[in-house]
Chain A
Amino acid sequence: MHISEGVLIAPVLLAGGGAAMLGLAIGLRRMDVQEIPKVALLTAAFFVASLVHIPIGPSNAHLVLNGIIGIMLGWTAFPAIFIGLVLQAVLFQFGGFTTLGVNTLNMAVPAVLMGALARPAFRSDSGLSALVMAAVAGAGAIILSAAMVAGSLSLSGDPFIPVSRLIFVAHIPIAIVEGILSVLIISVLLKTKPEVIRNY
């Protein structure tokens, strides 16, 4: 998921940076004081998740958790993922500084979209539909991120079809794992602390 330095061409980097800044601005504007600890908690989860590899499939990828972040944070997923990526770049040399904007966009846009898609289901009383939407958001955010990574690589000259096939195959196990994980987390939260998810 983390695109390294020197892979993308300048227009893609600039466009990604600009769009990420816009998302960051919206996210910060919507971040209430009450929400800050929750944002920090999910930033920490995102920061550490990248260290957990899922050794299934041809190329073992790591957890991203952007589906869950999207469900819990909405637009504030942007600052959470941005800070997580900055720290990963500084401390783990993961991704890079020039690609920070594109990487933020590739992981935060699916988070926001999937969060918006799934959240109405949590307000309804049907427990089943909530769990189904949690699974869809968890797995869907990974698939969407994979598509966006493939897209940014192909905009920089890589042929789209082989690149995206490679990325999709690598991330199918992660999508399944994150789908299950998000169902587990959401079902626990709905039982114990529904206000964390519902108060949007």
Chain B
Amino acid sequence: MNFHAVKSMFVSIIIIPILVMFCSSAQAHRVNLFAWYEGNMIMAEGYFSSGKKAVNSTIMVFDSEGKEVFHGTTDKKGEFCFQPPRDGDYRLVLEAGMGHRAEALVSVKDLKSHTGVLEAGHAGLQTTEDSELQEEFKASEDAGKGTTAFNSKEFEQILDRKLNPIKEQLFRLAEQGDRVKFRDVVAGLGYIAGLMGLAIYFAQRKRKK
């Protein structure tokens, strides 16, 4: 029986991962939280590793001192947004029920200058303190020989459009990193086989004594 068990163990070590590979729904059940800072809002999206969005889940935002500054739920797309009161690091905690929980850190910088841009509105970027942006705008105005009169809202829209694909890609990358990898499955089975060997070794030695 012992020999057969060992044989079937090795057979299953080969067969089980292959079965898992072909099983399309082979993902660990874990909730993940992807959060970023955009505009003057903290945005977040909660999703399970199976691809399902974490809908109607509790979300809490803590500031750097550990004080809860927001308590709410994700929407139908598993998304959430929150306007941070000031600069600093924020810790987001998502509770998706049944003991599933995820955390994410977002640091907020230059909140003031950003709201400054928004408030500046039609007056253009001349009023903002962001010299880099100003220079960029001057350059683009020069290039267009003054015919392109941008205001900050249009600029925001253009930036959004340009950055969306990158954001999307980052999100996919994060999602991919959260997937269970085939090599991890194999590694786990290898550890179990190794532990079995160790256990047999020690048990045999004890028996001889």
Contact = CB atoms under 8 A, between A and B. Distances in A.
B112 interface: no
Given A2-B99, A59-B98, A60-B52, A40 B195 contact: yes
Interface string A171-191: 000000000000000000000
A48 B204 CA distance: 28
A53 B203 contact: no
B30 A37 contact: no
Given A7-B95, A34-B1, A37-B5, A45 B101 contact: no
B30 A52 contact: no
Contacts of A193: 4
B199 A44 contact: no
Interface stretch (A109-117, A122-130, A162-170): A162-170
Contacts of A51: 20, 23, 26-28, 180, 185
Interface in B1-38: 1-2, 4-6, 8-9, 12-13, 16-17, 20, 23, 25-31
B170 interface: no
A42 to B, nearest CB: 10
B193 interface: yes
Interface residues of A, number: 49
A196 B8 CA distance: 13
Interface string B68-106: 000000000000000000000000010101111111000
Q: Name the prevailing secondary structure of the A interface residues.
A: helix
Contact of B187 (A2, A7, A40, A91): A91
A118 to B, nearest CB: 21
A92 B32 CA distance: 12
Given A51-B180, A51-B185, A91-B187, A36 B200 contact: yes
Contacts of B134: none
B192 interface: yes
Determine which residue in A51, A91, A196 has the highest number of CB atoms from chain B within 10 A of its CB, and name it.
A51
B interface, size bucket: 35 or more
A53 B192 contact: no
Contacts of B103: 6
A55 interface: yes
A41 B9 contact: yes
Contacts of A196: 1
B132 interface: no
B188 A47 contact: yes
B189 interface: yes
A61 B103 CA distance: 21
B55 to A, nearest CB: 10
A55 B17 CA distance: 20
B13 A149 contact: no
A83 B195 contact: yes
Given A92-B28, A94-B30, A170-B98, 17 more contacts: A2-B99, A4-B31, A5-B101, A8-B99, A33-B203, A36-B199, A36-B200, A38-B5, A40-B196, A40-B199, A44-B188, A53-B26, A55-B25, A60-B52, A88-B188, A153-B99, A193-B4
Interface of A: 2-8, 31-34, 36-41, 43-45, 47-48, 50-53, 55, 59-62, 83, 87-88, 91-94, 99, 149, 152-153, 163, 166-167, 170, 193, 195-196
17 contacts: A5-B101, A6-B93, A33-B203, A33-B204, A34-B2, A36-B200, A40-B199, A41-B9, A47-B188, A51-B28, A53-B27, A53-B50, A60-B25, A60-B52, A83-B192, A87-B188, A166-B97
* Interchain residue pairs A-B with the least CB separation, the first 4: A3-B99, A40-B196, A37-B5, A91-B184
